[in-house]
Structure 1
């Protein structure tokens, strides 16, 4: 995987972002035990450095699509490819290494209540064996990027919903992944906070990261003018 140089200037995150990931689905079907299908023989290419919205009604398969990309769900048929790796064939350490290259932003934030903003953002790096010096080097520019530098010592219950979602984004991006998956990141937010979250994701995309966002907010999609993948009746249709 190609990368650019590690940053020296704490006011800039750009040089820390690896070149974006390429995503491909090859004749993918995802079926469940009750014979229901969320995806049915779909193929798709998302290029490195793209920003793509995934839309569809509740239960259409938007979240399943993202889960296939990081191996939480496996296809019933077909292949899911991320950076030339067949996700279904990855096990153990190889799957863990792929997941380290994917930042995931959840709708419900998934923050640890007993940990501060800074601790919530950095605990994954600690688990991966990053040095304290490297964690601190990454923390400040990440906090600046999401506008939370002054709230590093706050706890989640001291933050607004929009701020908690920005902590979730910071946690997802501090390891500078080339692929960012955001599952309904604005679903619990008002329009102003929703737009702020999308602007952060767009900035990361401008640095080179590939960004895939699921949403049901059609007004937000129209405002952004990015490519859209619609999930409907097990099929994917793409518009530009």
Structure 2
């Protein structure tokens, strides 16, 4: 098994519940919990209204909804870029509402984030874009090299390690973004519209990578508006609509 997901592979397969389902017992371990969460912005617009979500380690969840419905806000709450107006956001048994500074940074190391617009560094090669995360976290050169090759192999970019972003297709750039997100072996992967700029073939290739990571034990949450892709993958789906989470 590739080193990139070896830590996640020991986790158990599990079950998801949201606000449309019965609340699980408090004794059940969870990777993600939203407890009566409301998110209201300064203009008074409430994006999420008293929502609940329960997601155990090892689940694959699609989050759908129209533009502006709150999909991205939901993910931002999960990695601490946004804080809830009301309620609790708990990730990996940590309440994000009380985490600040170094404690929040440490939690974020356990979350891999993939963006729609790639967010690659143009002046750095594929390999350099991937290892920048490990360098920032103080990994040794030996450990960085140990992780780099299997990660690039997993996303199909081992032969392009020395290429720069402008030498890659859109699909390849997104796969670099995925490699960067997973090289630290996070147990939770959040992907915000990762196929939004890709054609169907590249979208499916990217989704296959997420499914492989999930099969190794990682928890994966993907926001998307691509209904065909969602149907093809056949994973659990919730829709953000009118500030609420509705299980599809």
Q: TM-score range by the shorter chain?
A: over 0.9
Question: 2:236 aligns to what?
Answer: 227
Q: Tell me the C-alpha RMSD between the 2 structures.
A: 1.3
Which of 187, 199, 204 aligns to 2:213? It is 204
Report 1:57-96 matches (<5 A).
Answer: 57-96=66-105
CA distance in 2, matches of 1:15, 1:128: 19
Question: 1:180 aligns to what?
Answer: 189
Which deviations, in whole Å up to 9, do the C-alpha atoms of 1:88-126 show, x marking residues without a partner? 110111100100000000000000000000000001101
Question: 1:26 aligns to what?
Answer: 35
Q: Secondary structure at the match of 2:117?
A: coil
Q: Structure 1 residues 186, 39: CA separation in 2 closer, same or farther (over 3 Å shift)?
A: same
User: Are 1:46 and 2:37 an aligned pair?
Assistant: no
Shift of 1:188: 0.2
Q: Secondary structure at the match of 1:230?
A: strand
Provide TM-score, normalisation by structure 1: 0.93
Structure 2 regions of 5+ residues with no counterpart? 13-29
CA distance in 2, matches of 1:158, 1:213: 27
Q: Secondary structure at the match of 2:6?
A: helix
Q: Structure 1 residues 12, 79: CA separation in 2 closer, same or farther (over 3 Å shift)?
A: closer
Cα pair 2:4 2:182 within 8 Å, conserved: no
CA distance in 2, matches of 1:148, 1:84: 34
Q: Structure 1 residues 202, 41: CA separation in 2 closer, same or farther (over 3 Å shift)?
A: same
Which of 138, 143, 159 aligns to 2:152? It is 143
Equivalent pairs counted in the alignment come to 230
Shift of 1:214: 0.2
Provide TM-score, normalisation by structure 2: 0.90
Cα pair 2:76 2:82 within 8 Å, conserved: yes
Cα pair 2:114 2:178 within 8 Å, conserved: yes
User: Are 1:15 and 2:6 an aligned pair?
Assistant: yes
Shift of 1:175: 0.2
CA distance in 1, matches of 2:185, 2:4: 9
Which deviations, in whole Å up to 9, do the C-alpha atoms of 1:156-190 show, x marking residues without a partner? 00000000000000000000000000000000000
Which of 123, 127, 131 aligns to 1:114? It is 123
Q: Structure 1 residues 71, 13: CA separation in 2 closer, same or farther (over 3 Å shift)?
A: closer
Structure 1 regions of 5+ residues with no counterpart? 1-6
